[in-house]
Chains A and B, each alone.
Chain A
């Protein structure tokens, strides 16, 4: 199981959200598979130098969103994922982000065409 979590201190995003997002992307990318055990709340808190309450909050958030299942006394497991649904939600997020980018590009006169070009170029690099 590979799980990299990097906490950025000066970020806009609250720490619990950072943890949630990174575990989510690990699940989405398949690094964490169904049934994998997440590190314990306390262990993760200690290793990341963050508060237990924050990691607990992140784990609770993940459970509410259906990414994990918490079994009393056994820890949190990665839940079976409905990939279709995940794709949907991702799409919505991407749309939102792209709208932001378009807004951001507008004042300096970068057109949609330019943006598309950037995306294509980035794709080629990969």
Chain B
């Protein structure tokens, strides 16, 4: 069972299609949002960082759905010895891995943009990253939930629309983040959304198997 979890994750990664290359391009371009105007505005930078990752990981989710449709992989998964827990779990892991891997890339690209035009672009300030990742951890599961709750097309629209309330919520949570005793609350919120959304997505996937 545990072995299959790793194997399945490998299988999902190796089957990711060309869209991934497009995403790398996005990662290369999106440090441009970190500029000299708001270089010291941590709130703005954290939100830019977190929202950017959310959008990129949504693209990754779309890639899974794209494969499900193109190759009928839902059918394949239903005959392999894997459960929906494995499938949803592996996809979650891949998305978190993606966020972790893309972060150093983002910094690298921001160094490059900064080197090209230092008066415009700023290097990403590393002290914001942990806070940004924590916010990502709060919102990615909700994104997952939206994705598995609606048809892909609808989920795209809803996903795009909820980005704005997300940003407002992030601004709100940011105040707690800065207030270290309440940081623990945000961590608890992140864990809760993860567990809750994971379970619901699991049920949804099983229910909508084919």
Establish whether A and B are touching in the complex (CB under 8 Å).
Answer: no
